[in-house]
Structure 1
Amino acid sequence: MKLNKKWLIGGAILAVMALLLVVKSLRGESRTEVEVVLASEQDIRPSILASGLLAYLDEVNLTAELVAKVEEILVKEGDQVEKGQLLLRLDPETYRNAIEREQASQRQGQISIERQRLALALAETRLKRGEELLGRQMIGQADFDDLRNARDLARVELRSTQESLRRAEAILSEAREQLQKTDIRAPIAGTIVALPIKVGETAIPSTMSLAGASLMKIADTSAIQAELKVDEADIARIRLGQQAEVVAAAHQDTPLQGTVAQIALAPSLEPGSQGRSYQVDVLLDVPEDLGLRSGMSARADIFLGDGGKTLAVPVEAVVTEESEDGQVKRFVWIDRDGSARKVEVETGLSDDRWEAVASGLEAGDRVIVGPAKTLRILRDGAAIDAELRDGKAKAKAKADAEDDEDEDGDASE
């Protein structure tokens, strides 16, 4: 009898517990397990990835302005040169001959002018005598007109000869200028970084990549920059003065700090594709012993922010919705006294991990970050069972450590 009574009491207790569970289920009080993090200030430094080449800041590629053989090279690759220093001589013989020819033309023009001046003086004398004879009626009007016409013709011949002399002097000046161009001098002070031409080869005036088109390259190696290609989708976010971190292919373990110094206004087409990119020059702060060279390939992160601390949440916590009128809104779910609440936020810069929140949240708010599937089906006011993500990670790490200790203990036995 006592046994049956105990069974009845136990059954009643189980029935009450089951009834409570059913009531809670009917009332929607089942709790959803979620992970939360505390909204806090974080270092946010978004960046744009770009690639390109290194180049000396001040670099000049010397080309010939006339066709001539290289007669003498006075420097070698790696030499330091001063501005105006003679670097190379081209064969001047052709241009010296041209000067002598034009000098002869100049002298001939001067002789012709003297002859025309004498002819003009004689014509004026004859005209003056003809006027006296015409007054005495010793010659006719026709003869006087011939004398006056001869004087006018002598004047025209003199002017023509003078113009011919000016033309000869201009050609002579050009020939002398051409002769001066056979001496190639340094336009800037710097280092000879390339010297592709040799004595005996023919220099040609061309900007194409032809043999003889390039004489040598001079650069100021004390300053170097990265010439980067930035996609047209990202160029609007680039500003002068932004910080960048550049890694040269030859020194991948040494990131270089730099500053955006110039942004191209016109795009360039990428070979073999329809993509457009803009050149962005980043001036680098390079250690003296690093030994960078122009033409080295490099990749860079151009930072869009200053890296300062700002209130932020994990990027996976921010949910985007588009309303019926086309407006895009962003919001997060927060844990408020065990219930999920939907809060609209205004976001700012973001990087791979954090997204800045300008308004809508305060430091310390418990922001729901997962699981991702739960975020998609969560409803406002739903009961939740929240666990801090950091606490969960620490608990897992502790459990893993205890398992490792147990395995080590078993192995030692």
Structure 2
Amino acid sequence: MLHSRPRRRVWRALAATGLAAAVAFAVAGCDTRAQDQTAPAPPDVGVAAVLSEQVQDWNEATGRIAAVESVELRPRVSGYVERVAYAEGDEVAKGDLLFVIDPRPYRAALQRAEAELARARAEAQLAKTRHTRAQSLIEASAISRDDFEARSAGLAEAEAAVRAAQAMVETARLDLAFTQVRAPVAGRAGRAMLTTGNLAQADASLLTTVVSQDPVHVYFETDERTFLRHQAMSRAGERRNADNAVRVGLADEAGHPHAGTVDFLDNQINPATGTVRARAVLPNPDRRFTPGLFARVQLEGASARPAILIDDKAVITDQDRKYVYVVGEDNTAQRRDIVPGRMVEGLRVVESGLATGDRVIVNGVQKVFMPGMPVAPQAVAMRGGQPIEAVAKR
């Protein structure tokens, strides 16, 4: 009996130890099953193969629309405005009547000049008759040489007076015509700065402005590097400056839907800004362009070149770096740093970092938390991101 009590204590200790081990093993098994049941499935992501296409380089600039012809209309004669003969803001044709200045003083001046011309012609006719008579008399030695020369000089003076009177008539006729102020160019007329009853001063008073509508110019500045590149292209005979294509977009437009050509480059670089002024001409049949509008300009660069294109939604920013996630053969997302370029037809040019055949995550990038994470790729189109087919390689 004395030896049985220690033996029972030993067995109790061993039983307690076995029970604890069994409980620990059971708990561990439960944890493993719980982890297996709560492990998330790889997220579905839209994956598209990079596009390799020929792209045309374009240099970006900003500019302003300007009229090819812009006229500040001022009167050539002074007088009171009798009538405004156009509707403000309307388009006018070359030669259309815009203003009428009181013509009565100029009509009277023309009549006076015509009367002076008639008198001068009468005096010239009398001087010619006297000169003819003097010729016959001098041949008969009936008058002195001095009298004959005086009559000859009188005829020359009378003929000069006729020419002067004719010039006065022409001047008066022009002044009378200038009382009708007509459009010197076709275009859109602005508001009337002087209305009926106001005094218009010759060559001083502004009556209105007229700006041409079709075509229009767009002036923009380009940097030295772009200028030198185009100079090199011209020397190589690739194209002339006047043939350089441009694309233009307005503030309310997406992209650059309007096409034109460069027709002028300035003859010097602005040393303060390091830029040169250029001008392009654009057709404007639908009157989309109005002088003074802001314009976004793309100037055609070098010849087309191959480039890698991706959807801009795939690009992620990490401080000063840009990167994308590509999907490898094992369906894991791998980070790939890139150097992005400009946008071309809604896609981003990748200058370096990607190669033909790479598959980039376009849709569901936010589901990827870290490089190496498993994903369930679904093939989508690079343009638009629409599904093509499910690709589940698990």
Same fold (TM over 0.5): yes
> Is 1:244 aligned to 2:266, yes or no?
no
Q: Secondary structure at the match of 2:87?
A: coil
Pairwise CA RMSD = 4.5
Separation in structure 1 between the aligned mates of residue 352 and residue 86 of structure 2, nearest angstrom: 70
Contact residue 196 and residue 216 of structure 1 kept, 8 A = no
Alignment CA distance shift 1:100-1:232 (3 Å): farther
Q: Equivalent residues in 2 for 1:11-410 (5 A)? A: 41-57=52-68, 60-130=71-141, 147-204=144-201, 206=203, 212-220=205-213, 223-238=215-230, 239-249=241-251, 251-253=252-254, 255-267=256-268, 273=272, 277-283=276-282, 288=286, 291-305=288-302, 308-310=304-306, 352=341, 399-400=368-369
Distance 1:388 1:43 in 2: 13
Provide the aligned length of Structure 1 versus Structure 2. Answer: 280
Runs of 4+ in 1 over 6 A off after TM superposition: 391-394, 401-405
TM-score between the two structures when normalised by the length of structure 1? 0.54
> Residue 176 of structure 1: CA displacement?
0.8
Does the 8 A contact of 1:92 with 1:182 survive in 2? yes
Cα offset, 1:97, TM superposition = 3.6
Q: State the distance in 1 between where 2:162 and 2:210 align.
A: 41
Structure 2: 5+ residue stretches without partners: 1-49, 231-240, 310-338, 344-350, 376-394
SS in 2 for 1:72: strand
Which stretch shows the higher mean deviation, 114-123 or 39-48? 39-48
8 A contact 2:56–2:305 mirrored in 1: no
**What is the CA–CA distance in structure 2 between the aligned matches of 1:276 and 1:105, rounded to whole Å?**
62
Which residue is equivalent to 1:34? none
- Name the CA distance, whole Å, in 2 between partners of 1:368 and 1:192: 53
Give the drift of 1:169.
0.5
Cα gap change, 1:264/1:353 in structure 2, threshold over 3 Å: closer, same or farther? Answer: closer
CA deviation vs aligned residue, 1:173-212 (integer Å, no higher than 9, x gap): 1221222122122344444345433333444555xxx7x2
2-structure distance, mates of 1:111, 1:98: 20
Q: Quick one: which amino acid aligns to residue 80 of structure 2?
A: K
Q: Which amino acid aligns with 1:103?
A: E
The residue type paired with residue 264 of structure 2 is I
Separation (CA, whole Å) in 1 of partners of 2:257 and 2:216: 11
Q: What secondary structure sits across from 1:400 in the alignment?
A: coil
Pair 1:184–1:218, CA change in 2 (3 A): farther
Contact 1:84 1:185 in 2 (8 A): yes
Other structure's SS at 2:290 match: coil
Contact 1:92–1:179, Cα closer than 8 Å, also in 2? yes
> Are the aligned partners of 1:43 and 1:309 in contact in 2 as well (CA < 8 Å)?
yes
Hey, what's the Cα distance between the residues in 1 that align with 2:140 and 2:130?
15
Aligned-partner SS, 1:198: coil
Q: Normalized against structure 2, the TM-score is what?
A: 0.56
Query: Are 1:258 and 1:282, in contact at CA under 8 Å, matched by a contact in 2?
Result: no
How many angstroms apart in 2 are the aligned matches of 1:269 and 1:148?
75
CA deviation after TM superposition for structure 1 residue 291, in Å: 4.8
Q: 2:74–2:207: 8 Å Cα contact kept in structure 1?
A: yes
Give a deviation string over 1:101-121, Cα, whole Å, max 9, x none. 322321231232133234334
Residues 397 and 113 of structure 1, relative CA distance in 2, 3 Å threshold? closer
Indicate the percent of aligned positions where both proteins have the same amino acid: 19
1:135-154 Cα offsets, whole Å, 9 max, x none, are xxxxxxxxxxx623211221
Question: CA separation in 2, counterparts of 1:274 and 1:224?
Answer: 26
Closer, same or farther: CA 392–256 of 1 in aligned 2, 3 Å: closer
Q: Is the 8 A contact 1:232 1:278 kept in 2?
A: no
After superposition, the C-alpha distances for 1:34-92 in whole angstroms (9 at most, x for unaligned) are xxxxx995444333222221234565543333333322111112334344332221232
| Structure 1, unpaired ranges of 5+ | 1-38, 132-145, 314-349, 355-366, 371-386, 406-413
Q: SS of the residue aligned with 1:49?
A: strand
CA distance in 2, matches of 1:53, 1:353: 23
Tell whether the 8 Å contact from 1:47 to 1:303 is kept in structure 2 after alignment: yes
1:62–1:215 Cα contact (<8 Å) kept: yes
Equivalent pair of 2:78/2:201 in contact (CA under 8 Å): yes
Contact (CA 8 Å) 2:56, 2:302: kept in 1 or not? yes
> For residues 198 and 234 of structure 1, what CA distance do their matches in structure 2 show?
50
The separation in 1 between residues aligned to 2:307 and 2:150, in whole angstroms, is 96
Summarize the Cα distance change of 1:203–1:297 in structure 2 as closer, same or farther, 3 Å threshold.
farther
Report if the CA contact (8 A) 1:95-1:178 is conserved: yes
Is the Cα–Cα contact under 8 Å of residues 247 and 299 in structure 1 kept in the other structure?
Answer: yes
